[in-house]
Amino acid sequence: MKLLTILANLGLAAAVACPHRKLKEAGLLNEAVLAKYEELKRDGGHIEQRSSNGLLSPSTLSGLSLPLGGGLVNGVLQPFTGRLSFLVPPTPQSFGLKAIPGTDINHRYIAPGANDRRGVCVALNTLANHGYISRNGITTWAEAANAIQTVFGFGYDMAAILSAVGLIAGGDLITGKYSIGGADSRVPDNLGPSLGLDKHGVCEVDNSITRVDTYFGNQANFHLDRWQALLNDVAAHGNLFSQAAFTVEKKRSYDDSRATNPVFDAGPKWFVIAHGERVFIYRTMLNGTSPDTAPDFGNVGPFFLNETFPHNWFRRPTPFPFADFLVDITSLYLGSPVELGVNEGLDNFVPLGTDPSVMTPSQIACFVLENILDEAPGSFSRVVVDNYDIVQGFLNGAVAPFFANYNCDLQNYTVPSASAGEETTGSSSDDGPAIVNGVYQR
Ligand code: HEM
């Protein structure tokens, strides 16, 4: 009962279909976590207000200017202006239980051809193989955001933010285009090299589930041995790809990278992305007909081994909003807390000094925003830094408005970080061929 009250105070009861599922998972949490949630009860002022269609209510964000348009009206992103006037924002899609791809002939599986891009993200690869985004793997901010709402039931806010991060990580802000794999001439380089989603360091991080750390080679390709190691953790947890299984898998893979990768980077981006990709599996790859049950092999296997949908698969019946994502990544982190920091050589881990386990969800949200607004542009090329007003206009108009309810101090984040202008490469993808039963068809 105590936990139910706490979760209700977190605003979860209104936002998700089944708080009991979360309660069950909360059984994993220790005393420190419960203490943190107690703190939240007292800090209940930042609960998001949602209208019946699941969109954020209109709100203002103090200190935020929108020099190039964007912003939210009735929870929907508005058009951009000036240099960003060709950028098309995502639009809200309909939700509810639905067979995907069902009998829709337009969305049947077609294996990627020689000129088609595939990369780090199994979900985007699957969407491209089924034509929910462009089959050539060159997508846009709006196309990918709309597709992950339609197919996986991501909430509008979650979808818009995630695809915006994909765009700023490796795409072209002026056209909104990005490659879901490596660099591609079909994506313009208006603001410097568009290196694609596979580019290491912004969105692609160490400690992926089935991809190796960049230090060990191509960071975009699927590795059967990593998949097998995951299956062992799943087998030890009732054969389900549950939060409990990923609590163990994440810690195991973190410990392994920290011990063997001399440049292992477990910084703030790692915190958000490494936890996020694991959460996505048990929140949005599950079969919507059993939304309260973690997915099993028959459900998750086809996404990873063949980049296609399982037979008779339904998307989740309710949207997965950004507020739930924040709670879920924190909860997964707290199941097996590890130090944030970087290896500067083996046996020389330099802690970051940031401890997510003592943060409230509002602070976690601002920590995420800080990373998007500050650190990501810091990895851009010099050309982007010189055009920073465009980047800032996009971030202010497309991403920051979704954080309105978290009281983040935006003044801290509105200049490029100290590392800005360093050319970040590391796009070593040789993506493209179809994958069948976990083996690339070269
Ligand atoms: C526009 C939307 C998306 C973008 C920009 C995106 C981006 C990425 C990136 C950059 C990675 C690599 C992270 C790393 O280095 O560990 C990744 C991995 C992953 N993504 Fe996505 N993603 C998107 C949508 C989704 C969706 C909708 C799902 C689930 C339904 C998903 C599930 C995953 C999973 C499970 C991985 C880990 C793959 C592995 O390690 O084998 N993603 N994504």
- The whole-chain average pLDDT of the chain stands at 82
Helix (H) or strand (E) holding 350: strand 349-351
Q: What's the Cα-to-Cα distance from 402 to each of 40, 295, 415, rounded to whole Å?
A: 20, 29, 19
For tokens 């046996």, name the residue. 347
Q: What parts of the chain have a pLDDT lower than 50? A: 1-30, 32-60, 378, 414, 416-424, 426-428
Cα-Cα-Cα-Cα torsion 199, 204, 208, 212, nearest 10 degrees, comes to 20
Residue 332 is encoded by which pair of tokens?
A: 């997964």
- DSSP conformation class of 78: P
**CB 201 near ligand 1, within 6 Å:** no
**CB 151 near ligand 1, within 6 Å:** no
- Which candidate, 76, 84, 72, places its Cα nearest to that of 172? 84
Distance CA 198, CA 206 (A): 12
Contact 309, 284 (CB under 8 A): no
Ligand 1 atom at minimum distance from 304 CA: 41
- Helical residues (DSSP H) of 261-296, grouped into ranges: 268-284
- Which candidate, 147, 203, 145, 201, places its Cα nearest to that of 402? 145
pLDDT tens string 221-268: 899 999 999 999 999 999 999 999 999 999 999 999 999 999 999 998
| Per-residue confidence (pLDDT) for residue 424, from 0 to 100 | 47
Contact 397, 357 (CB under 8 A): no
Ligand 1 atom at minimum distance from 169 CA: 10
**CB 272 near ligand 1, within 6 Å:** no
Give, in degrees to the nearest 5, the angle at Cα 117 between 84 and 438: 140
Q: What is the separation of C-alpha 166 from the centre of its chain, rounded to a whole number of angstroms?
A: 9
- Which candidate, 248, 122, 117, places its Cα nearest to that of 185? 117
- Exposure on the CB side of residue 226, measured as CA atoms within 13 A: 18
| Per-residue confidence (pLDDT) for residue 8, from 0 to 100 | 33
**CB 142 near ligand 1, within 6 Å:** no
Q: Measured in angstroms, how far is the CA atom of residue 203 from the centroid of ligand 1?
A: 9
Q: Measured in angstroms, how far is the CA atom of residue 170 from the centroid of ligand 1?
A: 14
DSSP 37-76: HHHHHHTGGGPPPB-TTSPBPP---TT---TTB--EETTE
| Per-residue confidence (pLDDT) for residue 380, from 0 to 100 | 58
Ligand 1 atom at minimum distance from 280 CA: 29
Contact 322, 157 (CB under 8 A): yes
Give, in degrees to the nearest 5, the angle at Cα 38 between 402 and 33: 85
Q: Measured in angstroms, how far is the CA atom of residue 82 from the centroid of ligand 1?
A: 31
| Per-residue confidence (pLDDT) for residue 362, from 0 to 100 | 82
| Per-residue confidence (pLDDT) for residue 432, from 0 to 100 | 62
Positive/negative CA dihedral, 199, 178, 328, 5? positive
> What are the structural domains of the chain?
17-440 (1.10.489.10)
Candidate from 124, 261, 315 with most ligand 1 atoms within 8 A of CB, to mutate: 124
| Per-residue confidence (pLDDT) for residue 384, from 0 to 100 | 64
Residue 181 is encoded by which pair of tokens?
A: 């794999």
What 3-state DSSP class applies to 435?
Answer: strand
Q: What's the Cα-to-Cα distance from 304 to each of 125, 163, 227, 397, 440, rounded to whole Å?
A: 9, 20, 8, 34, 12
**CB 180 near ligand 1, within 6 Å:** no
| Per-residue confidence (pLDDT) for residue 23, from 0 to 100 | 31
pLDDT tens string 43-69: 332 333 333 333 433 334 556 789 999
Distance CA 49, CA 56 (A): 6
Contact 219, 211 (CB under 8 A): yes
- Which candidate, 2, 61, 106, 87, places its Cα nearest to that of 414? 61
